[in-house]
Amino acid sequence: MTQTLLTLFLGLVVILGTASIVGRILGRRAQSPESSATIDNLNARIRSWWLMVAVFAVAFAFGKGVTLVLFALTSFYCLREFISLTPTRPADHAALAVAFYVFLPLQYVLIGIDWQSLFSIAIPVYAFLLLPVLAVLKHETGEFLMRTAKVQWALMLTVYCISHAPALLLLRIPGFEGGGFLLLFFLVAIVQASDVLQYIFGKLFGRHKIAPVVSPNKTWEGFVGGGATATLLGAALYWITPFSPLQAAGMALAIVLAGFCGGLVLSAVKRSLGAKDWGRMIEGHGGALDRMDSVTYAAPLFFHLTNYYFVP
Amino acid sequence: MIDHLLIGLTRFLVGGRPEWIGTKPSIRQRIYFANHGSHLDTVLLWAALPKPLRATTHPVAAADYWGKDRIRRAISIGLLNSVLVDRAGSAAGSDPLAPLEAELQRGHSLVIFPEGTRGAERLPGPFKSGLYRLATRFPDAELVPVYLGNLSRAFPRGAYLPVPISCHVRFGAPMQLEEAEGKEAFLERARGAIVALAEAQA
């Protein structure tokens, strides 16, 4: 597995290296201020990619513990961004404290100690029931349902859903022992490739907007072109997975579709809160949740599909 | 060492990188005045100042909270360089502003919260007269409005732990007491400066 991962990361370095060089050439050639702004944004994205790949490489090199810490921190920043934009009240403070300091770490500890059954229900059952109790103790009923829903949504999307990515390490697939990191790599690679390819196809051929109100940058041309290419990439990566080429393509397609839905839904949530980006953490990318929006939908779906069909 | 730790922890939990909108950091004598929503206000504003300024800038803190036990005293006085103010002082016959004026007397800067108490709202409540008195007695000090955003959500009254919510620290353009400006008019103008910062987009 180590050999395979090394090959994969070398491949990423080659791809990003090419992207950096192309970005630099484009930057020199840019003439209008508009195109030069687009190229600047592109180059900022490429720089952030280098950083993200480096972080991933370090996490994978050090194994499960560091990978879990990395994803726990990702959840932490996403939850912080979500709650920062969501106007909560002082009466919600206890519920928020328990979400941040109990359920977030607990979710990742459960993966660490291989307790899959509790991992699956800790947030949807226990947090779901407990958090409103903490809020109701403050005797403030104004907008109670709405306030509760906000905290629940935040915790489900940013902690429960995202934690399904590293939870791939829990799955025991016969003939594929210890291959959890490769599954995780597959998921993240397809989600991100799909985002990037849809962005590129959209910039090059985009004409017909899919959802102009929610997400003005999404076009049918970008979605179909980028999604199809990402699906093909999934098929091409079948050798790192327990899937056949056809199955790998199917999984990649599921990831692409789920990721697309995640992007749309999170974008609608963001707009309903009156913001354009979730935060300003990553240069060119907005906040952490702007990067993870597709993962929130793709990770649980990929986890469960793999669990249903490949874990006896 | 401990100050780096405290700043690191603060940034991790609530962010709060300084946004210098109307002014730049300066060694001039200043009275920073801010809205007050949380005990974190003092820490966050202190962390937002560049290190050389922290040594000569004293946040004004309530003695009944920050002076209560040894740990809080160590943080407020030892680390944050605070001046503790006895909020019940004027009733007891002493002048609560005297320790503040002593710091200004020797050329140092202050951070004060003119509302005098923590509010839960986004915008500050009415100001008490302390800021006006200091502005009258120390006309050379620059009065710098500071808006602290989201702190009352991150660490509201009565809470034991702050929760991670991104906060803002925005520094506005310095102002001064105008000639023949009355107390009410001045305090309202000062409050307005903070309200304007609350609406500002960084």
Residues B151, A90 contacting (CB under 8 angstroms):
no
Contact A97 B163 (CB under 8 A): yes
End-to-end Cα distance, chain B: 30
Q: Annotate A159-195 with b (16+ C-beta within 10 A) or e (fewer).
A: bbbbbbbbbbbbbebeebeebbbbbbbbbbbbbbbbb
Q: Are A93 and B166 an interchain contact pair (Cβ–Cβ within 8 Å)?
A: no
Subunit contact A79:B164, Cβ cutoff 8 A: yes
CA A125 to chain centroid:
23
Q: Which stretch of DSSP H or E encloses residue A298?
A: helix A288-310
B48 CA to chain A: closest CA distance, Å?
18
Helix (H, G, I), strand (E, B), or coil: what is residue B181?
coil
Question: Which of A78, A80, A102 is best to mutate for the B interface (most B CBs within 10 A)?
Answer: A80
| pLDDT range class, residue A27, cuts 50, 70, 90 | confident
Residues of A in contact with B166 (CB under 8 A): 80-81, 84, 279
Tokens 């909560």: give the residue. Answer: A88
pLDDT tens digit sequence for A276-288: 778 776 655 678 8
Strands B83-85 and B167-171: unpaired
Residue B164 has phi, psi (to 5 degrees) of -70, 105
Q: What is the pLDDT of residues B124-174, one digit of tens each?
A: 999 988 899 999 999 999 999 999 999 989 998 888 899 999 999 999 999
> For testing the chain B interface, which of A79, A84, A86, A137 should be mutated: the one with the most B CBs within 10 Å?
A84
Residue pair A182/A241 in contact (Cβ under 8 Å)? The answer is yes
Contacts of A88 in chain B (CB under 8 A): 153, 165
Burial (Cβ within 10 Å: 0-12, 13-18, ≥19) of residue A276: exposed
In chain A, the N- to C-terminal Cα span, in Å, equals 22
- Please report residues of A whose CB lies closer than 8 A to that of B123: none
pLDDT on residue A164: 97
Q: Do A90 and B159 touch (CB under 8 A)?
A: yes
Mutate which of B123, B163, B168 to disrupt the A interface (most A C-beta within 10 Å)? B163
In our burial notation (b when 16+ CB lie closer than 10 A, e otherwise), range B106-118 reads eebbbbbbbbbeb
Checking if the pLDDT of A30 tops 80, the result is no
Q: At A261, is the secondary structure helix, strand, or coil?
A: helix
B2 or B137, higher pLDDT: B137
d(C-alpha B74, C-alpha B82), whole Å? 10
Note the pLDDT tens digit of each residue in A42-95.
888 888 888 888 988 888 888 899 999 999 999 999 999 999 988 888 889 999
Quick check: A15 pLDDT over 80? yes
Looking at chain A, the whole-number percentage of residues with pLDDT higher than 70 is 98
The DSSP letter of residue A209 is B
Question: Chain A: residue nearest B168 by CA?
Answer: A84
**In chain B, what residues touch A81 (CB-CB under 8 Å)?**
166
Alpha-carbon gap: B8 to the closest alpha carbon of chain A (Å): 15
Write out chain A residues lying below 8 Å of B164, CB-based. 76, 79-80, 83, 100
Which of A90, A97, A279 is nearest residue B166 as measured by Cβ atoms?
A279
Verify whether the Cβ–Cβ distance B163 to A83 is below 8 Å: yes
Interchain CB distance below 8 Å, B156 and A80: no
pLDDT of residue B99: 87
Question: Of the candidates B111, B95, B148, B99, which has an alpha carbon nearest to the alpha carbon of residue B32?
Answer: B111
Whether the per-residue pLDDT at A145 is higher than 70: the answer is yes
Contacts of B163 in chain A (CB under 8 A): 83, 93, 96-97, 100
Q: How many CB atoms lie within 10 A of CB B176?
A: 13
Of B156, B158, B165, the CB nearest to A83: B165
Q: Residue A97: its chain B contacts at CB < 8 A?
A: 159, 161, 163
The residue in chain B having the minimum alpha-carbon distance to the alpha carbon of residue A101 is B163
Predicted TM-score of the model (pTM): 0.90
Give the Cβ contact number of residue B1 at 10 Å: 5
Nearest-by-Cβ selection for A80 from B158, B161, B164: B164
Do the chains contact at B161 and A101, CB–CB below 8 Å? yes
Q: Write out the H or E segment, with its range, that includes residue A124.
A: none
Give chain A's mean pLDDT.
91
Contact list in B for residue A89 (CB cut-off 8 A) is 153
CB contact under 8 A, A81 and B166: yes
Q: Would you state the pLDDT for residue A283?
A: 58
The whole-chain average pLDDT of chain B stands at 89
Is the distance from CB of A266 to CB of A293 less than 8 angstroms?
yes
Residue of chain A whose Cα is closest to the Cα of B38: A90
Chain A partners within 8 Å of B156 (Cβ): 90, 93
Q: How many CB pairs under 8 A join A and B?
A: 36
If residue B171 lies in a helix (H) or strand (E), which one and from where to where? Answer: strand B167-171
Q: Which tokens hold the place of B59? A: 């946040």
Q: What is the pLDDT of residue A132?
A: 95
Instruction: Compute chain B's Rg from CA coordinates.
Output: 16
